[in-house]
Amino acid sequence: MERPRPSSPRLSSPQCSFGGDRSTRRSFLTRASAIATASALFAQVASADDSAQSETPVSIKVDRHRLMRCRMELEVKGNVKVPSDPVQSKKTKTALPVNSTASLDYEERLLSPEGTVEESEVVAAERFYHTASNLSVLNKTSVEHQLRESMRHVIVRREMLPEVVYSPEGYFRHDELSLLKIPVSSVAIDRLLPAQAVIKGDRYELDLESLRSVLNLSTLESGKVEAVVSAIDDGNVRFQIEGDVEGSVDGVSTRMRLLGKMTYDRSVKACTWLAMALHETREISRAEPGFDILAKVRLLRQPLEQPVRLPAEAHVVDFENPPPENRLFVELKSDHCQAAVMMDRRWRMISDDPGQCVMRMVEHDNSIAQCNLRKLTDLPAGKHLTLEAFEADVKRTLGNQLVQLVEADQGLSALGLRILRVVADGETQGVPVRWIMMHFSDDTGKRVHSTFTMAGQKVEDFAGCDAQFGDSLQFLSSGKGESESADPTAQASAEKQTSPIVAEPNDASLELSAPEAEIATKPPQSASDLK
């Protein structure tokens, strides 16, 4: 009598054997064959779907989101090239190791002239920085910078590059401006995307003008950078970027090697993530040291429905005129001379030593003038140097170099300091030179002396900067960490208007997550090394 066939093969027991039951064995083999066939068919269908998806062109349409939240992390390692004498020469004497990290978190609102078409280049933006900090170690010396709370609302103008950043309410220090000089512009990164539909494996060359805008360069003379479509899925199109460029920043030549990855979000219709490694070699300039560094940038962007800390109403920008000059002053402070001034951004602090501090006026890497500031011995309270004595001191100092005294005057500055001023013309090794010497004192006996020196043909370019210097100079208290910056136009500051804000949103969605949050710790050799 035939034994009934079981409803399913008994696989749970390791002792189970089908050797004695042919019908059961046939049933098992039949079912196994059916499962294998179905799996193979499923794999073929899935493979066909993937192949079809990768071969179906995907349109790269960019929606210009007027309000974005951006988070950027920057790591820099390399060497700073220091001149042998920063006052006299640009020749490199030594290279100092530098290791720096920076973190920026900001809202960004795009601004455009009225009537501008959607496809035109963005020429301005308004930002509020929730976080802007930097920690640098230069030759074993640690320095930390952080954007002051009062300076977190900024305007960015991009009609000319590098972009100009200023505050509608206050005045930056040079270290704050350096902190906000980011190597990749979040305003422009959508320009890295292709204009046409793409499939996986497509390769295209980035045009130099788009790269100049993204990298925030004054000029971009040559180079070739290519992007390749590395992956496409339902949510994203991913790209890899690689190439080299040569250009300049404010007249200083620079060379860059780029390796990067970026993600185009198909639902947002914008580039929402960028990781880029830039090996940059920049020459020494008249105002700043050069460097040979590897910078790793990570940028995350997401649209916002409404502002968080930005004013509810967009800042009104006068696009018919360049950035307002009265917003482009910068504070220069000498700890050793215990004094601070507000000057235009062409002025840089070159050195601040116990003997004297040196400031230089530089435009497009051309030196216009130099100011030497030194602290003098205090006089008894209520005593002041006379103008006649100061003129005599100027004559003794210049000696045979002096040709003539052009003018001499005295008065009170906008901040109440007594100023003696002498203008002299002369020659040094046959070259016409103008000197402007100024003596500052207060009723307590504090004194400093400044000497402006410029070639005769640079007097017009100098354009009376000594007047701005005189009206804005103030003495700092001994050990005082920060000056109370006065309005550089020497006018009473207007009351600040309180801008309406909305509640802080949940930031969890903006966290940088692996693998997109990390770049390989070793210097990348190819775009695939950017984890």
Rounded CA gap, 180 and 185, in Å? 11
Cβ-Cβ contacts under 8 Å for 441 (sequence gap 6 or more): 379, 384, 385, 417, 418, 447
Rounded CA gap, 384 and 445, in Å? 7
Rounded CA gap, 64 and 361, in Å? 39
Q: What are the structure tokens assigned to 455, written together? A: 């070639």
Rounded CA gap, 64 and 2, in Å? 77
Tell me the Ramachandran region of residue 8: left when phi exceeds 0, alpha when psi lies from -120 to 50, beta otherwise: beta
**DSSP string of 96-146?**
EEEEEEEEEEEEEEEE--TT--TTSPP-EEEEEEEEEEEEEEETTEEEEEE
Question: 3-class SS at 391?
Answer: helix
Which H, E and C letters describe 344-366, residue by residue? ECCEEEEEECCCCEEEEEEECCE
Cis ω before 515 (30° cut-off from 0): yes
Cβ-Cβ contacts under 8 Å for 70 (sequence gap 6 or more): 104, 105, 106, 107, 108, 186, 299, 300, 301
Q: Scanning the structure block, which residue is given the tokens 């969605």?
A: 509
Where b means 16+ CB within 10 Å and e means fewer, 421-448 reads: bbbbbbeeeeeebbbbbbbbbbeeebbb
Rounded CA gap, 426 and 400, in Å? 9
Question: 3-class SS at 287?
Answer: coil
Q: What is the DSSP letter of 239?
A: E
Neighbours of 324 (CB within 10 A): 13
Where b means 16+ CB within 10 Å and e means fewer, 136-167 reads: bebeeeeeebebeeebbbbbbbbeebebbbbb
Q: Give the distance from CA 39 to its chain's centroid.
A: 54
pLDDT in tens for each of the 531 residues of the chain? Answer: 444 444 433 333 334 444 445 555 555 555 656 555 555 555 554 454 555 555 799 999 999 999 999 999 999 999 988 775 554 555 556 789 999 999 999 999 999 998 888 778 899 999 999 999 999 998 889 999 999 999 999 999 999 999 999 999 999 999 999 999 989 999 999 999 999 999 999 999 999 999 999 999 999 999 999 999 999 999 999 999 999 999 999 889 999 999 999 999 999 999 999 999 999 999 887 767 888 999 999 999 999 999 999 999 999 999 999 999 999 999 999 999 999 999 999 999 989 988 889 999 998 888 999 999 999 999 999 999 999 999 999 999 999 999 999 999 999 999 999 999 999 999 998 999 999 999 999 999 999 999 999 999 999 999 999 999 999 999 998 754 444 444 554 433 333 333 322 333 333 333 333 333 333 333 344 434 444
Whole-prediction pTM value?
A: 0.78
User: Which contiguous run of DSSP H or E holds residue 179?
Assistant: helix 174-180
